[in-house]
Structures are given as C-alpha cells and as structure tokens.
Structure 1
Amino acid sequence: MAAYDDRDGKIWMDGKLVDWRDAKVHILTHAMHYASSVFEGERAYGGKIFLSRKHSERLIRSGEMIDMTIPWTVDQIEEAKYEVLKANGLTDAYVRAVAFRGAGEDMGVSSARNPIRLAVAAWEWGSYYGDAKFKGAKLDISKWKRPSPETIPTAAKASGLYMICTISKHAAEAKGCSDALFFDYRGYVAEATGANVFFVKDGEVHTPLPDAILNGLTRQTVIGMLKDRGIAVHERHIMPEEMEGFEQCFLTGSAAEVTPVGEIGPYTFEVGTLTREISDAYEKLVRS
C-alpha cells in the first residue's frame, strides 16, 4: 500500500471534498502540538457504515469533553461520511472522522480563538490483526497504566489518550506480539491499545468495568449479543492474576471487530466455541 499521504482519492475537509494529496494542515496546527483532537474509527460493510450515527454522536461528545465544540451537526457529519465513500467508490471500508483545533491566532496551551476543523477519510482496510483474527492474537502487557478519570477525560475518544498506546504497541511488536494489554491506575485489567477485552470462564463472560476506559460501541454491541443468547456477562473489576483461570479471551473494536486472543504475557487461552460463535455472529450482524 502507498503511504497514507500519497494516494489517489478524495478526503472531505471542512465542508468540501479535496484531492487526497491536498488534504493538508499547517505545521502550527494546534492539535499537532497539544493533542487537541478527537476522532472516530468506523467500518462500512456493503456501503453501510455500522453504527454510523452513534459514532458521529460520540465524536461531538468527545469534542465537548475536551472543551472543543464541533461546528457541524450529526446530520452533516453523516452526510460527509457517505459523500466520502461515494467519491472514492468504496463499499467495504474503514472510515476515519477527525475533529481538531487548527492554526489560528493562538499558539500556546490556550487555543480558544483557533478554528475547529473536521475531516473525513476512508480507505480499504482488511483485518486489523492480520491472521490473528483466526488463530488468536498474542498480547504483551504494557508497562504503562490507563489513567484515572480525575486526570484526563477517559470517556472521550481523544488523540492524547493514545500516546501510551503507540508506545506500548511498538514495544509489543518488537517482541513479536500483535498488541499490548493495559492495566489501569488501580492495577485492574483495562483494555488493549485500541480494543476492549473480554474473558470466558464456565460459559460466562467477564469484561472490565468501563470506569477508566472507553466504553466502546463494539463492546456495547457484543454485550447485547451475548445477553440476547442468554449468556451471563459480568462487567466488573478484574485482577491480573484472574487471567490464569480464564479459558477464552477476545478483543472487540470497530477496527478489531471480534478477534480471539491466544496469549497475554504468561497467560494462554483457547480459541473456543463461544468466541468463534460471537465472532461469526458479529460478522453477520454488521452485514445484515
């Protein structure tokens, strides 16, 4: 694949489509210096973006949480996303909407006078974890911790929260792993760098309480699917040592979809029936 700044196609920026290579910002864009940016990652299946409106609504909420009122409505964001798909001739694609503080009169921590900008891009993107989606991903355990909600707005899908994700994923890949698992500031199991985590034991499912992590839209969808099947789901604090007793593990996310996990640090898991069934059911749901 070509570099992400050197492709054919169109990107929507601030209300209009521009050529892919011309979708540029100034070096003094506030978001580049101070992480004043929020985003959404979504997937389109057969020309329909799964949970599209919920993603657009969350984008606006995330902006509000970092004191950044996005000057576009949910309906306008929805229209932009589908305009991008059409302009690029895409039906199955990854869709990225990003809102950020641009360059303006302010160039310091304060940026109230700078314009808030919005861009939407889309491209073809296969399985986020490659063949791990079928045989089970291998995860490292990050040395970094997910922060307290008292230190940063952890419920926002904001770029600043992903700095330790990049560091941790690089470290994991250097060890031959697909990703890394975080514990939170209290020592509880939290999430992967871009996906929520679930465990299976004795036919029941356990997943971290989202009180210091993003309550992913795919996470919420999968919990609903499990409950519809009569499977008990326990949203709770999980201690790291509990992983030794879990039989199966899987990750969920818009990019990750439902991906089984085979290893987390010293802990191993089978790619079991329940994980496979939920993965297959999710595939059917998003394409229905």
Structure 2
Amino acid sequence: MKVFLNGQLVDKKDAVVSVFDHGLLYGDGVFEGTRVYNGNIAFLGEHIDRLLDSAKVIALDIGMTKQELIDATVDTCRANGIENGYIRHVVTRGSGTLGLNPYLCEKASVIIIADNIKLYPQEMYDNGMKIITAGTMRNMPEALNPKVKSLNYLNNIMAKIEAINSGVMECLLLNPQGYVAEASGDNVFVVKGNKLITPPTWCGALDGITRSKVMQLGRELGLDVVEQVMTRYEIWTADEAFLTGTAAEVIAVVELDKRSIGTGTPGPVTHKLVDAYRKLVVEDGIRIDF
C-alpha cells in the first residue's frame, strides 16, 4: 500500500510522523473521510472544501491548494488501485515542542490514505440498527464548533464506548440542553408523515456532506425537508429514523432505548433515499483515470 505523506507516495511502513507531532500530542489537526464508488470519488470537492474550512478555523496552514489536494487524492487512489474504497485525509499541526504553542510547529503534515472500510455488518443495513442514548453529552459548539472535523474525537469515542458496552454499535448524543445533536459518528434523521427532519448544526451536529446530499434527495422525492430542534420524543414517535455519514452511508434505526420506531423495520422513505443515494455516489464527484 502507498500512502501520500507530505508530497510523496511512500510505502505504508514508511508513512510515519514524529512523536512530537501536535496531532499525536494534542489532537491538533483536522481530517476528512471520503468514499470511492466504481472509480468515482464521491463529493470530493465538497470534502476538500470542508477540510480547508476546518483548517482555517483552527488557524492551520495546510500548505496545499484545493486542486493540489484533489490531484494528490486521485494519485493515491490510482497508486493503490482503489476503485471502491475509503479515503482518509489527515492534516496535523506538525512537529513541535511539548508545549501547547502551535506556532512553534514547523509545518503541517498532510496524509492521504486510500483503503477499505466496513462500518456496520450487512445485516444492519437490511434490518436496521438498534441504538441507545449515551450519557456522554455532545461538546458545546462554543467550546469546539461541530462543523470542524478535528482530530480530537474523544467526545465521540466516549459515547461509542457506552454504546458497545450496552450491546449496540451506535448511540445518540444529546447536547447540554437535552436536544438531539447526532450519533457518535453520523447525522440523525427522522421521517414523520411527509416531513424529513434533522437537527440544526447549532445543536451540536456536524454539517455532514452525506447529510446535505440526503436533504437534497429528500426534496427531489417531494418531501418537506426541515432542520428542527429535536428531542428523543420526536425519534420515538417517528414513522422512520435513519443515520447518515460518509462511512455509514444511509442506515435505518429501528429502535432507540428499547422503544421500537415505526414498524420496527426500515421504512419506505428510507429505502427510497438509500436507492437514490446509491445512484448519486457513482455520478457526483471526481473520477479516477486508471
């Protein structure tokens, strides 16, 4: 496997960063996850835009333009023969001192990994997944804006631990006010009548690329798509519920905290959105010329 590291494609075993890298020491950096479908890197432009925006917010100079990042991503996929897979972009602050001062770091480290991922078993995509509400609250947007995909995912990991220890693979995170924010790594949607509802990002949800695409697809299907403050009541009483994310794609939620949602099976709107999303990901993006 070849990994892009600071302008070069190197063997996996040689893709290393310093133990003084602030990404390792403090989670100081940003990342993106992108998927490849039949040689098409889905929504790559939007993902790179978000990577650059995240870096700007934390005052991190990536040192590469949008087009350079796109070209490096395509080259990395081509070098590894990835026609279907997953891409992880990681930008760290770079090597510095043991102190917090980010301005003492030499320059950012840019890493692109093209490999494979399987987030959930196929059975869950077929039958839907059961989730719990985590006791861990979502970080306050005033502390760390959820629109920034930073390398510090400890808040999400703490919630994920609760889910796995409870015998499920995913969980719901509430914000400090008790409103629904997101899942540990995915956005949350519910269907109620002709409405497709998702929490606004200011409640603590990532402004997900898949989220925005599903909202677009929902409108094309004639649904009334709204961002609305949501409690668990809206999920428990929904006709359908599902999660969205680059790695997760679109997956139905059929139970929350031992309460069945809708019929307890993936619903018709979820099925339509899954089908529409599968068509979109092979068309919308940047193709790899093998």
Could you state the TM-score of these two structures normalised by the residue count of structure 2? 0.92
Is the 8 Å Cα contact of residues 196 and 252 (structure 1) preserved in structure 2?
A: yes
Aligned counterpart, 1:147: 139
Aligned counterpart, 2:154: 163
SS at match of 2:211: helix
Aligned counterpart, 1:278: 273
Is the 8 Å Cα contact of residues 66 and 153 (structure 1) preserved in structure 2?
A: no
Q: Distance in 1 between matches of 2:236 and 2:275?
A: 26
How far is the alpha carbon of 1:266 from its aligned partner?
Answer: 2.9
Is the 8 Å Cα contact of residues 235 and 241 (structure 2) preserved in structure 1?
A: no
Match of 1:199 among 167, 190, 194: 190
Aligned counterpart, 1:3: none
Q: Distance in 2 between matches of 1:66 and 1:264?
A: 35
How far is the alpha carbon of 1:274 from its aligned partner?
Answer: 0.6
Aligned counterpart, 1:4: none
**Is the aligned partner of 1:46 residue 2:41?**
no
SS at match of 1:281: helix
How far is the alpha carbon of 1:243 from its aligned partner?
Answer: 2.2
How far is the alpha carbon of 1:146 from its aligned partner?
Answer: 1.4
Is the 8 Å Cα contact of residues 248 and 275 (structure 1) preserved in structure 2?
A: yes
SS at match of 1:278: helix
Q: Structure 1 residue runs of 4+, over 3 Å off?
A: none
Match of 1:235 among 227, 231, 240: 227
**Is the aligned partner of 1:31 residue 2:23?**
yes
Amino acid aligned to 2:12:
W
Is the 8 Å Cα contact of residues 146 and 207 (structure 2) preserved in structure 1?
A: no
How far is the alpha carbon of 1:134 from its aligned partner?
Answer: 1.5
Amino acid aligned to 2:149:
K
Q: RMSD of aligned C-alpha atoms? A: 1.2
Is the 8 Å Cα contact of residues 191 and 197 (structure 1) preserved in structure 2?
A: yes
Q: Distance in 2 between matches of 1:239 and 1:174?
A: 23
Q: Distance in 1 between matches of 2:5 and 2:245?
A: 25
Is the 8 Å Cα contact of residues 129 and 137 (structure 1) preserved in structure 2?
A: no
5+ residue gaps, structure 2: 284-290
Aligned counterpart, 1:6: none
Could you state the TM-score of these two structures normalised by the residue count of structure 1? 0.93
5+ residue gaps, structure 1: 1-8
Q: Distance in 2 between matches of 1:32 and 1:152?
A: 18
Q: Distance in 2 between matches of 1:166 and 1:149?
A: 17
Aligned residues: 277
Cα deviation, 1:198-235, whole Å, max 9, x if unaligned, reads 00112321111111221101000000111111101121
**Is the aligned partner of 1:75 residue 2:62?**
no
**Is the aligned partner of 1:173 residue 2:186?**
no
Amino acid aligned to 1:166:
I
Match of 1:93 among 78, 85, 89: 85
